[in-house]
Structure 1
């Protein structure tokens, strides 16, 4: 696959002349484009949502002069979808420029220390797995493939001197070099049988059956043809049955960084992954020579660590850490520091007094302050503190919306900001406030008739403050009456955010003429550790009660809500709660349940995670604890003598490849509805997982939701 040859000078020259040709309009000082002010308004469509360009997290060059980020140009036909890297000068207001031209896309961008080149991971012509490529930004030219590994490479990082690359890859059991890995891969491909065998948990993750590959760290010279070396080959650490990292779509990850001396690697890994069916998997910090060998364990406690970074002066190691408190369902992610170097790291928790989880943090080159974000009441904003953890202050922020990524180079702080009516764009964050650097979606967004969410709070009978957002449809008239659709977020460790959403877009749900209510029930994040923990032993009833109370409060507060036309729905944990509401109240005219749990016992036994479910219930399924039965929706299905039970018409949707909330939940749900003669419809997406991610499937999903709501909120009088 070819890349456009270019240099820094070519970028600057082309910025003015080629901006419009590349689909980008330079932002004006007022933050709008020339065409947006006069654009006509229309109600949002699925095409507006799906075809909005998707701007990825930027990576800033070490000298602070450039930001590189991905932009996906979606299509309903996946074969026509493009995803490329774009580059933006941070020294002036010139428009960004496309850096690569490929359908497959690139990820894991990492700059060389001299800011003259960068590496990324891509799967291009002839690649059976993602490989590392390098492109010369200063001199121009095509990207050069650096790795040709059978099992691919991911997460590359330059050494401090720019001469070597650290990256993550996999090996097969017993394979000690590339030739033996290639031989093992061929043997697996040539097998006459298709059986899978497992001796540890979990056998599958999200939408994939797991295999026997083992994650490893590799180092190689940063040039084509160099031979990678497995740093943990034949080590006692890697031989442990519980060794591994976090599970992701591309396999396990090992969060690893170069130590300041360039001679050692610091990484976080678990040694008890084989106990995940009965215990939390702790990730500890280790040190291994860049030449390979036995790793030295630097922490030995019951906490977990990740997001490792060194201070610019190399004297402090930072990490995000969780306490993994025994018997608790949720722990805040806090920022910790360690004096470096040290063979026994002792953590200092810098955000111990902050009752919020740190989402991300960055360390500018001046070494004066740490910048970070956290969730609160629908927003994610920027904050800073000194290296001792004191003097925490709120930085200049947009009043609405959410920051979803941060990167720093020199003193330049850059990330992606979005809101529900401002699709993602790259912004610089300065003392004077955020400055938008890209305009990929500004013009299209300006043509849509939508309003920012309205926020309100209420107090529960037990004194808990509950945050809500209300979204109004296009052509909203406060003198009219509108049905209410209470949409319930998943998680439960999650929060409704003021952001642009694909899967349950607030404005597209509201489009037919509904008020959408978004409630952060107990168990949500963004309100402190105890708030998130409060669903322990009460997974559905308490949150369900608060969703019902939120509906009551919205009706009292907003005269334009029609109290006789109510619906509720959600996905994942929101689907669990949708099923619970159907079982315990008849106030709703329609229910929508996507990936919703029906039986706590069945979900425990068939999902890809079980330990946390036991902790939440207070014990295993055979402990005879009442929560396993009393808060399973199916067990309340026939409570018609109480005036509840399954009666409300329900739309049930599910991805057949969903292993987080497996399809058996939806099948049981539909069977129960049909047994009780409840109006119900089951929609199964054979090629989708926990989420509906394909364009035409998404369009069909929204049409089904809108059709179901219309049938029971509007047609049925």
Structure 2
């Protein structure tokens, strides 16, 4: 019997009244460790269930693989009641995890010494005015010892290959040669009688804060004796370049610094083009600076950006993520590049798996330096792939039908390959796992959330595909409400992901938890529209020059196909909404269709033209729309929601964080003014302490109350 026929028969048996379209294939994933194994009475999910689940951080295995350190956040609605500490678990799972630290301040940036005895981490303890690096002997125990004392603080520590020196980063004032200079400049600025921000170039803002002239530098700190930390970049020509900076993140720049195998130098990523971000892509390159001093040497050529350099355990090969910059495309895969390394020089650059049409999320190299394992997004999951270290075809390690593997880590000095990661799904909050490659499964090393998850009435996501009118295969996931009855008909909320270059994943989503959205009795549709990642580079690039049109149509097509196929889906009671790019698309649906009973828009643009000029990023928007705004090409004119304001009539809920610089407050205010002028039923909620994300527990709880009330008003 053909495979497609078998799938159709199975689905017909599982869902009463379901009529399977020839265009639709559904796979219902299940796993033995999921919440469905419990026989106890279950209850609908609550915001408390979501927000108070323990948050297990990324695994940091010891070099020999015997232990894994990770952070554990024990959340609370009041931030002062929240705890975040380091825990330790044996790599073989032979003993339960134990707490390593117990302090008020959180710890971060954990790293191991080469002998697998000590860890270094960053925290702010009693007496510290700013975060510093501490070292703890895991084998002997005792109290952690502070090893840095810079007035500008410390982050991202790394032990030298001999374990005697720490490399770390600090954010310093330009021109400062030592900590005394930093203290003097800070005092001078504090004594100013005026307050002003002055700029001569781009960028000026990032995420939720204004930028200043401080820079991220690299320091080395001997662990023996009283020698002070030394700034490896102070006085170099590199840091005087107007566009100098590290790889930008939502917080501070990072330099991705690693020691060279012989310990005589430090490899890092940096840019000298940050000031060109308004009109060109910003490339980050690999640099080498000697610990003995001197000018950093750039090692890579123009045409690509590089990130996260990592040496193979053999010390003879360097790997880094590489992204093209010169072809004018709006999206590229992060691919793994390989370099031969000898005597401080790079040669023979090549892609490890040039035909691998997925973006590398995390990677690790086996102790024999022969194989690389990577995680990559694919159709709602983050899966594990292997590739020969010297180059070759990437292969799926084993099929993944539930959840995502993230934060892959492979200890470099283990006697055999050991793979550790976080694993999570929509019904399994994240835990630390050890991956068993021959068996194609994992073993849980932590179970902080399993008991709580078993008490909740939720089901794994259903994967659904359909072929759009344009001939594209479009992936979706369905979230079913608690106490699900296939004989009932449920209203639908199609939730739209942001990005656009992200993907709806089978994960435990904190800020917009899928099952909490479904809790009042909705079927949630999650569509990976054109522009999403995890479906190949071209699929993500196809949004260029067509930012809203195709993907907006696909979102509505998905709802219609699913309503025709599943008898429990009420195609007459449908709402749509999303956040960030999902909010952009909600406003596009407002402009172009009356299909939906109501809409929800969080942090969505209403005016592409003013968004271009006020967001913290602009060049991406120029690429996406096919030129600068003043050229007024067809995309700017025809795919801008505000130009269709005469069509606005669908009731809409608007929410926004006041400190959002990615989609600034002005976008929501423009939208609000138009809606009020048009007398469209609407509601505005502004969170004064929030940025692009609603991260305070009580704020997030109120957000869900508003969302549920809005949906109930128009769907129930």
**Aligned counterparts, 1:569-580, within 5 A:** 569-580=577-588
What's 1:654 paired with?
656
Give the drift of 1:225: 4.5
| Contact persistence 1:286–1:295 (CA under 8 A) | yes
Give the drift of 1:629: 2.6
Q: After superposition, what is the alpha-carbon deviation per residue over 1:210-261, rounded to whole angstroms, capped at 9, x for unaligned?
A: 1110111111113584411111111111211111112234421101111111
What's 1:26 paired with?
none
| Contact persistence 1:490–1:574 (CA under 8 A) | yes
Q: Which moved more, 1:270-279 or 1:125-134?
A: 125-134
| Contact persistence 2:203–2:274 (CA under 8 A) | no
Write the distance in 1 (CA, Å) between the matches of 2:110 and 2:448: 20
What's 1:118 paired with?
119
Q: Which moved more, 1:291-300 or 1:93-102?
A: 291-300
Residues 285 and 709 (structure 1 numbering): CA distance in 2 closer, same or farther, change over 3 Å? Answer: same
What's 2:240 paired with?
239
- Say whether residues 1:555 and 2:556 are aligned partners: no
What's 1:194 paired with?
195
- Say whether residues 1:481 and 2:489 are aligned partners: yes
Residues 372 and 385 (structure 1 numbering): CA distance in 2 closer, same or farther, change over 3 Å? Answer: same
Q: After superposition, what is the alpha-carbon deviation per residue over 1:101-153, rounded to whole angstroms, capped at 9, x for unaligned?
A: 12321111010000110100112222222110100111111011111111111
Give the drift of 1:399: 2.3
Q: After superposition, what is the alpha-carbon deviation per residue over 1:335-369, rounded to whole angstroms, capped at 9, x for unaligned?
A: 11001126354420112101111111001212221
What's 1:609 paired with?
617
Residues 693 and 153 (structure 1 numbering): CA distance in 2 closer, same or farther, change over 3 Å? Answer: same
Residues 511 and 142 (structure 1 numbering): CA distance in 2 closer, same or farther, change over 3 Å? Answer: same
Write the distance in 2 (CA, Å) between the matches of 1:469 and 1:250: 32
Say which SS state the counterpart of residue 347 (structure 1) adopts.
Answer: strand
| Structure 1 unpaired stretches of 5+ | 1-28, 639-644
Q: Which moved more, 1:383-392 or 1:515-524?
A: 383-392
Write the distance in 1 (CA, Å) between the matches of 2:86 and 2:476: 37
Give the drift of 1:697: 0.2
Write the distance in 1 (CA, Å) between the matches of 2:274 and 2:363: 27
What's 2:376 paired with?
374
Say which SS state the counterpart of residue 671 (structure 1) adopts.
Answer: helix
Residues 397 and 192 (structure 1 numbering): CA distance in 2 closer, same or farther, change over 3 Å? Answer: farther
Write the distance in 1 (CA, Å) between the matches of 2:388 and 2:519: 46
- Say whether residues 1:167 and 2:175 are aligned partners: no
Give the drift of 1:397: 5.5
Write the distance in 1 (CA, Å) between the matches of 2:655 and 2:538: 32
**Aligned counterparts, 1:125-274, within 5 A:** 125-223=126-224, 225-274=226-275
What's 1:14 paired with?
none
What's 1:679 paired with?
681
| Contact persistence 1:147–1:224 (CA under 8 A) | no
Write the distance in 1 (CA, Å) between the matches of 2:311 and 2:373: 14
User: Alignment partner for residue 498 of structure 2, among 490, 494, 505?
Assistant: 490
Q: After superposition, what is the alpha-carbon deviation per residue over 1:631-682, rounded to whole angstroms, capped at 9, x for unaligned?
A: 11111110xxxxxx11000000000000000000110111110000000000
| Contact persistence 2:176–2:234 (CA under 8 A) | no
Write the distance in 2 (CA, Å) between the matches of 1:464 and 1:142: 59
Write the distance in 2 (CA, Å) between the matches of 1:529 and 1:459: 19
Q: Which moved more, 1:311-320 or 1:363-372?
A: 363-372
**Aligned counterparts, 1:417-456, within 5 A:** 417-431=423-437, 432=439, 433-456=441-464
Give the drift of 1:93: 2.4
Give the drift of 1:292: 2.1
Say which SS state the counterpart of residue 581 (structure 1) adopts.
Answer: helix
Residues 158 and 637 (structure 1 numbering): CA distance in 2 closer, same or farther, change over 3 Å? Answer: same
| Structure 2 unpaired stretches of 5+ | 1-30
What's 2:10 paired with?
none
| Contact persistence 1:233–1:293 (CA under 8 A) | no
**Aligned counterparts, 1:576-615, within 5 A:** 576-615=584-623
TM-score, normalised by the number of residues in structure 1: 0.93
- Say whether residues 1:412 and 2:421 are aligned partners: no
| Contact persistence 1:299–1:345 (CA under 8 A) | no
| Contact persistence 2:289–2:295 (CA under 8 A) | yes
| Contact persistence 1:299–1:346 (CA under 8 A) | no
Aligned length: 679
**Aligned counterparts, 1:65-76, within 5 A:** 65-76=66-77
Write the distance in 2 (CA, Å) between the matches of 1:704 and 1:223: 57
